[in-house]
Chain A
Amino acid sequence: QKEVEQDPGPLSVPEGAIVSLNCTYSNSAFQYFMWYRQYSRKGPELLMYTYSSGNKEDGRFTAQVDKSSKYISLFIRDSQPSDSATYLCAMRTGNQFYFGTGTSLTVIP
């Protein structure tokens, strides 16, 4: 079993839709949870960073962590074509980072 599981998609939604991206994990030692956005042929960009369970909101983005279910989500409200990218979840325990495979998202105008 992989440490981090993420559905690769692709996911295609109309502009304005609410997008839900998810990852599951198996290691209960993970303490920090991140979401990165990666545009084609570019390096990943840190979007959200959370520690422990709960929600964190930043503009149109909300990151949610449920440690009891070992499940994290990223919600994008009012999605825009510029949100079209690959979204990677990542988790950290100590100095060890684990990345999901990424979900490819396309927002159709």
Chain B
Amino acid sequence: GAVVSQHPSWVICKSGTSVKIECRSLDFQATTMFWYRQFPKQSLMLMATSNEGSKATYEQGVEKDKFLINHASLTLSTLTVTSAHPEDSSFYICSARRASGNPEQYFGPGTRLTVT
């Protein structure tokens, strides 16, 4: 299998605080992990691509100082939403690609962030 977990699955935070979301590949090593944002009834919007041991590559329009991504190991990447605002409320989904074998993306279950 290719299982990806995310934690937490749901978080509510106050405006101005920071929230960290973890993405783990449970049964495979992932050299590359992706972070997406999804609004209701809309498709996935790629925010950034992170490679283990190097800086993340952010998509145009995504603030790297606001969405901090760390990919410290082959099984863990984290997304920290800093100084969250209500407009950051969204569904955040990570995905991971295997270090070898099938090159496709395997998605986590998503994290629903609500900023009040």
**Does B associate with A?**
yes
A residues with a Cβ closer than 8 A to B are: 8, 32, 34, 36, 41-46, 49, 88, 90, 92, 95, 97, 99-102, 104
Q: For A36, what are the chain B residues with a Cβ–Cβ distance below 8 Å?
A: 107
Interface majority SS on B: helix, strand, loop or mixed? strand
Contact of B93 among A34, A43, A90, A97 (CB under 8 A): A43
> Which residue of chain A is the closest to B57 with respect to CB atoms?
A95
Q: Is the CB of A46 within 8 A of B44?
A: no
Q: For A95, what are the chain B residues with a Cβ–Cβ distance below 8 Å?
A: 32, 49
- Give Cα A46–Cα B105 distance, bound, in whole angstroms: 8
Q: 3 closest A-B pairs (Cβ-Cβ)?
A: A43-B107, A101-B43, A44-B107
B5 shortest CB reach to chain A, Å: 10
Report if B58 contacts A (CB, 8 A). no
Max chain A Cβ within 10 angstroms of own Cβ: one of B34, B102, B110: B110
B82 shortest CB reach to chain A, Å: 23
> Which residue of chain A is the closest to B43 with respect to CB atoms?
A101
- Give Cα A100–Cα B32 distance, bound, in whole angstroms: 21
Interface residues as binary, B97-116 with A (CB distance below 8 Å gives 1, 0 otherwise):
00000111111111010000
Contact of B108 among A43, A88, A101, A102 (CB under 8 A): A43
B residues with a Cβ closer than 8 A to A are: 2, 4, 6, 32, 34, 41-44, 46, 49, 91, 93, 95, 102-110, 112
Can you offer 28 A-B residue contacts whose CB atoms are under 8 A? A8-B41, A32-B104, A41-B91, A41-B110, A42-B109, A42-B110, A43-B4, A43-B107, A43-B108, A43-B109, A44-B93, A45-B107, A46-B2, A46-B106, A49-B102, A88-B44, A90-B105, A92-B103, A92-B104, A97-B34, A97-B105, A99-B43, A99-B44, A100-B43, A101-B42, A101-B43, A102-B43, A104-B41
- Give Cα A92–Cα B103 distance, bound, in whole angstroms: 10
Q: For A34, what are the chain B residues with a Cβ–Cβ distance below 8 Å?
A: 104
- Give Cα A24–Cα B88 distance, bound, in whole angstroms: 31
- Give Cα A55–Cα B67 distance, bound, in whole angstroms: 40
- Give Cα A34–Cα B109 distance, bound, in whole angstroms: 18
> Which residue of chain A is the closest to B2 with respect to CB atoms?
A46
- Give Cα A104–Cα B112 distance, bound, in whole angstroms: 20
